[in-house]
Amino acid sequence: MNKINPLFKKELKVVNVGLKSFATDLKQQDIQVIHVDWRPPAGGNERMAKLLNKLK
Amino acid sequence: MNKSVRIQKNKYYDSVTLMLVSKELKKLDGVNEVLVGMATDLNKELVGNLGLSNNEIEELNANDFFITVEWEREENLEELLLKVEELLNKKDEASDDYSPATLSSALKYMDDANLVIISVPGKYAYQEAKKALNKNLHVMLFSDNVKVEEEKELKEIARDKGLLMMGPDCGTAIINQVPLAFGNVVNKGHIGIVAASGTGAQEVSVIIDKLGGGISQAIGTGGRDLSKEIGGIMMLQGIKALTEDEETKVLLLVSKPPSPEIAEKVLQAAKDGGKPFVVSFIGGSPEVVEKYGGVYGASLEDAAIKAVELTGLKAKSMDSNMNLEELLKDQLKLLKPEQKYLRGLYTGGTLCDEAMKLLSKDIGGIYSNIPLKPQLKLENLNISKEHTCIDLGDDDFTVGRPHPMIDPSTRQERLLKEAEDPEVAVFLMDFVLGYGSNPDPAGEMVPFIKRSKEVMMEKGVEALYIASVCGTEKDPQNLREQEAKLKEAGVIILPSNAKAVAFSAEILKYQAKR
């Protein structure tokens, strides 16, 4: 189902995961945005991150 | 020399914030070298190379934050830590709202969210993008270093669900008039852009605005979309969406030359859509575009002009108040016969590529880190020779530091180095404005432009500084203010990269014959 054309008619509501400045820029333009305080899963331990992913 | 190390466990900041903090700290009195970062493998290697590591840092993980300093004289750690705190808090003040730790918890807070921008390190990007698509959210994936097979899988999921999957490595998009990541504030209008190049999308959208036209949407695809492996999935989706979009009257497709079979697929889709379409496959040939009834844009500017005219508007002249012939005559008087060479110092990769393609016809081979032919690759990327054009935003120059559109220090240093060469006739530069970019790119370069002029003067020569500013008056940096700063420093400003290149070509052709 095409969800792209319906998006063009909606107000943009953004979740920002990563660089905070992208959220700050959107906020400055009065765009609704929520910034995720992302950090590497399992403290950056890749083996542990893979295991966690399997559990999910 | 004294060294200091400070560590904060389980305190995460994003890389761009920290690299900019490092840059500011280097300016402090008494600081010889400093690195502020998360203890990723890359950062640990960097501090190791700088000789600033110790056992404590070696044992940290990617969620731990460290500061390591080498002092020129006596250390002044307290002052430096206060500065770090001030800089990090400054970065924080614009968004002191609630920040959840995961996408799922963010969606509890904003259950009608419709788009996710992802810019986490490449190796985590696929997981985050997949989560977003599975929650039926459109994605703009800014991160690079995502595997081709991961990109393909993400784009296939998006296609099956009817979602946007812009990227990986998608720097620019404008959706519903909102610039995302690196985007300019441009007029609303009837041209729908699908672009596999970030700065390509910025340049065409800005020129459309300068010509009096406007855009409906600008969909980014990421640079690999038109490769054989990905098969143009996102560009095909974009063409379909813009074909069905009532606001879009003309389509404008931008990419580096694609794989030939994918090009035919994309052009067939554009033709089937039935709306007029313009194609800028930078440096590609017109025949294949015209075979499918498309209009060929020889440069990004040419593509923008043709797109505006196809919407039924008469394109405004961008340089009506400039007498280029007079200007050229005046400028040529400043050069000595032995000044023959070009040094292009670019922050936008596509603009660098376009410059080389347009210039090679007139001046021959151009050395580069992203050369048009393998034999023109610079042996040492830090040493230019003859005609050279550098993409300072390429991975070669950005390990451990932000992109030069954010942090211009690599270009500042390089310009001073280039000024040591009395055979240089032209310095060609781009200044990219808009959200995401440095708040004052012209102001950051001006002192270095002035200093480089002094360096050349000491050698008894004067070079010409030619630039284009990719931006609008509505951008946060304001086009007119940025242009005024550069003009005041003696830089010749042309309204597009193609025009700056053409003006440079005239000078270099003249100098070659002297």
For B271, the 3-state DSSP assignment is helix
| B415-439 pLDDT, tens digit each | 999 999 999 999 999 999 999 999 9
Tokens of B13: 């900041």
CA angle B467, B206, B172 (to 5 degrees): 100
* A38/B contact by beta carbon, under 8 A: yes
Q: List chain B residues with pLDDT less than 50.
A: none
Rounded-to-integer distance, Cα B116 and Cα B129, Å: 8
Q: Is B261 exposed, middle or buried (0-12, 13-18, 19+ CB in 10 A)?
A: exposed
* A19/B contact by beta carbon, under 8 A: yes
Sign of CA dihedral B59, B62, B67, B68: positive
CATH code for the part of the protein at B3-95: 3.30.70
Residue pair B493/B483 in contact by the 8 Å Cβ criterion: yes
Yes or no, beta carbons of A39 and B12 under 8 Å apart: yes
Q: Which of A28, A29, A35, A39 to mutate to test the interface with B (most CBs of B within 10 A)?
A: A39
Q: How many CB atoms lie within 10 A of CB B511?
A: 21
Residue ranges of chain B assigned to CATH 3.30.70? 3-95
Rounded-to-integer distance, Cα B356 and Cα B498, Å: 10
Rounded-to-integer distance, Cα B469 and Cα B101, Å: 38
* A50/B contact by beta carbon, under 8 A: no
Rounded-to-integer distance, Cα B192 and Cα B246, Å: 11
State the CATH class of domain B103-310: alpha beta
Domain coordinates of chain A in residue numbers? 8-55
DSSP code of B377?
B
Residue ranges of chain B assigned to CATH 3.40.50.261? 103-310, 324-513
Q: Is the peptide bond before A41 cis (omega within 30 degrees of 0)?
A: no
Relative to beta strand B3-8, strand B31-38 is: unpaired
Half-sphere exposure of B194 (CA within 13 A, CB side): 29
What residues of chain B, 41 to 80, have a C-beta less than 8 Å from chain A?
Answer: 61-63
CA distances (Å), B18 to each of A39, B67, B87, B223, B364, in order? 14, 10, 9, 27, 42
Phi, psi of B504 (to 5 degrees): -60, -40
Amino acid at B409: S
- Give the pLDDT of residue B173: 98
CATH 3.90.650.10 assigned to domain B324-513? The reply is no
Question: Longest C-alpha distance within chain A, in Å?
Answer: 43
- Give the pLDDT of residue B143: 92
Sign of CA dihedral B204, B210, B213, B217: positive
- Residues of chain B with Cβ-Cβ distance to A19 below 8 Å are 14-17, 119, 142
ipTM over 0.85 threshold? yes
- Residues of chain A with Cβ-Cβ distance to B14 below 8 Å are 18-20
Yes or no, beta carbons of A8 and B102 under 8 Å apart: no
pLDDT > 80? residue A24: yes
